[in-house]
Chains A and B, each alone.
Chain A
Amino acid sequence: MRGRLLASWLLLGLVLIAVAVVAAPGSSYSNQDREQPLAGASMHHLAGTDTLGRDRLVRVAAAFLLSLAGAIAAAAVTTAAAAGVGTLSAFSPATLGRLGMLVCDVFLALPWLFMLMMVRSALPLTTSPAHSAAITFLVLAALGWPACARAVYRGALDLRNSEWMLQARAGGLRGKQIARHVLPNLVPLLMPQFLICIPAFIIAEANLGALGLGIGEPLPSWGGMLLELDNSSMLLQTSWVYLPIALLILILLLLEAIAVEV
Chain B
Amino acid sequence: MNSAVSLLKRLARTVLIVFLVVVGSTVLIRFAPGYLSDAREMDARYGDAARAELSAEAARSVSLRQMLSMEMSAWTNGSLGLSRQYDVPVLELVLPRLAVTGGLMLRAIVFAWSLALCASLLSSAGRNPSLLWQAPAALLLGVPTAAMATICLLAGSGGPVLVMTLLLAARDFKFLDRLLRMAWLDPHLLQARAQGLTTFRLVRAHILPSITPQLLALATLSIVTALSALVPVEVIFSVPGLGQLAWNAAMNRDLPVLLAVTMIMAIAVTFSGMASDRFGEWQRA
Query: Which residues on A are within 8 Å of B, measured CB to CB?
Result: 102, 105-106, 108-115, 117-125, 127, 199, 203, 206-207, 210-213, 222-223, 226, 229-230, 232, 235, 245, 248-249, 252-253, 256
Contact = CB atoms under 8 A, between A and B. Distances in A.
Contacts of B16: 102
B147 A245 contact: yes
Contact of A127 (B20, B34, B259, B261): B34
A35 to B, nearest CB: 29
Q: Which of A115, A212, A256 has the most CB of B within 10 A?
A: A115
Contacts, number: 141
A117 B258 contact: yes
Interface stretch (B70-78, B104-112, B136-144, B186-194): B136-144
Given A117-B247, A211-B247, A226 B144 contact: yes
Interface residues of B, number: 53
B1 to A, nearest CB: 24
A206 B147 contact: yes
Contacts of A111: 224, 227-228, 262, 265-266, 269
Given A117-B250, A235-B154, A226 B262 contact: no
Given A111-B224, A229-B147, A125 B33 contact: no
B214 interface: no
Interface stretch (B22-30, B91-99, B204-212): B22-30
A170 B98 CA distance: 57
Nearest to B225: A111
Contacts of A125: 34, 37, 39, 42
Nearest to B16: A102
B67 to A, nearest CB: 13
Contacts of A256: 138, 141-142
Given A105-B17, A118-B259, A248 B250 contact: no
Contacts of A248: 144, 147
A122 B262 contact: no
A121 B154 contact: no
B25 A229 contact: no
21 contacts: A108-B269, A110-B262, A110-B269, A111-B224, A113-B231, A114-B227, A114-B231, A117-B231, A117-B250, A118-B255, A118-B259, A121-B249, A121-B258, A122-B35, A199-B142, A206-B147, A210-B150, A211-B247, A222-B144, A230-B150, A252-B142
Contacts of B13: 102, 105
A114 B146 contact: no
Q: Chain A: interface secondary structure? A: helix
B132 interface: no
A252 B138 CA distance: 9
Given A110-B266, A118-B258, 16 more contacts: A109-B269, A119-B28, A121-B258, A122-B32, A122-B34, A124-B37, A125-B37, A203-B144, A207-B144, A210-B147, A212-B251, A213-B250, A226-B144, A229-B150, A253-B142, A256-B138
Contacts of B24: 106
A105 B228 CA distance: 17
Contact of B261 (A114, A207, A223): A114
Interface string B1-23: 00000000000010011101100
B246 interface: yes
Given A112-B228, A121-B255, A123-B32, A211 B262 contact: no
B181 interface: no
A102 B17 contact: yes
B25 A118 contact: yes
B123 interface: no
Given A122-B29, A122-B255, A125-B37, A114 B42 contact: no
A119 B247 CA distance: 12
A249 B144 CA distance: 8
A255 to B, nearest CB: 9
A209 to B, nearest CB: 8
B267 to A, nearest CB: 8
Q: Which of B16, B249, B262, B269 has the most CB of A within 10 A?
A: B262
Nearest to B247: A211
Contacts of A114: 227, 231, 246, 258, 261-262, 265
Given A111-B224, A111-B266, A114-B261, A210 B144 contact: yes
A105 B16 CA distance: 10
Nearest to B232: A207
A125 B32 CA distance: 12
Interface in B17-76: 17-18, 20-21, 24-25, 28-29, 32-35, 37, 39, 42
B27 to A, nearest CB: 12
Contacts of B151: 229, 245
A114 to B, nearest CB: 4
Nearest to A213: B250
A122 B247 CA distance: 13
A123 B142 contact: no
A253 B266 CA distance: 30
